[in-house]
Amino acid sequence: MGTAVDTAKEVNGSSLSEKKLTVVFVLGGPGSGKGTQCANIVEHFGYTHLSAGDLLRAEIKSGSENGTMIQNMIKEGKIVPSEVTIKLLQRAMQENANDKFLIDGFPRNEENRAAFESVTGIVPEFVLFFDCSEEEMEKRLLGRNQGREDDNIDTIRKRFNVYMESSLPVIQYYDSKGKVRKIDAVKPVEEVFEAVKAVFIPSHEKTA
């Protein structure tokens, strides 16, 4: 599996790998609080936050040929190819003066992961994984959509199942490399950020 991608070593990626970037993948199920914590990390640690979904939506809005193709694929219920999302992430990193990036909601599956490393030549510094129970995520998402609980519960469960099936292999892969930093995302926001800070502050800066 994924061999075609592995043979495509360093396609367009050289300028990015020369740039010496620090990349952190941010993963967690729908409602795990990724967005809130990414905003905190940006504010406290000076990272640039890149959301794969936001980049795809911005490309669609731009009206470019690429955007039209992405829109049509989404309309037809097809998955946007890894290379398309990776190109958008690459471009965003190249155009940004920063050298520290949080990539949120990507890689969504093993194929995304293999393609990203192969195309960009970048291996993430680590993976920040917001671990949250299905019950808690359900509660949070239903809280956002008040009054329509019966309409949404099935959709929420479907989203959760898709996430579990596709993203868990990515987390397991990086865990085997010692690169996963698991955060208990069930706790209150402030406590979750304390745990996040402990991951980002280099050990020599930590107070005793």
The pLDDT assigned to 166 comes to 87
Element (H, E) at 169: helix 149-176
d(CA 23, CA 122): 8
pLDDT in tens, 169-197: 999 999 999 999 999 999 999 999 999 99
Contact 51, 88 (CB under 8 A): no
Cα Rg of the chain, angstroms: 18
Q: What pLDDT, on the 0 to 100 scale, is given for residue 3?
A: 36
CA distance 55 to 141: 23
Q: What is the CATH number of domain 3-194?
A: 3.40.50.300
pLDDT digits (tens, 9 = 90+) for 108-163: 899 999 999 999 999 999 999 999 988 888 888 887 765 544 446 777 788 788 88
Query: So where are the chain's domains?
Result: 3-194
CA distances from 137 to 54, 133, 207 (A): 21, 6, 33
Quick: pLDDT tens for 66-112.
999 999 988 887 778 899 999 999 999 999 999 999 999 899 899 99
**Residues in CB range of 70: below 8 A, 6 or more apart:** 56, 59, 60, 80, 84
DSSP letter, residue 207: -
The rounded distance, in Å, linking the Cα atoms of 101 and 10 is 20
Type of residue at 80: V
3-state helix, strand, coil in the chain (%, to 5): 60, 15, 30
What span, in angstroms and rounded, lies between the C-alpha atoms of 67 and 75? 12
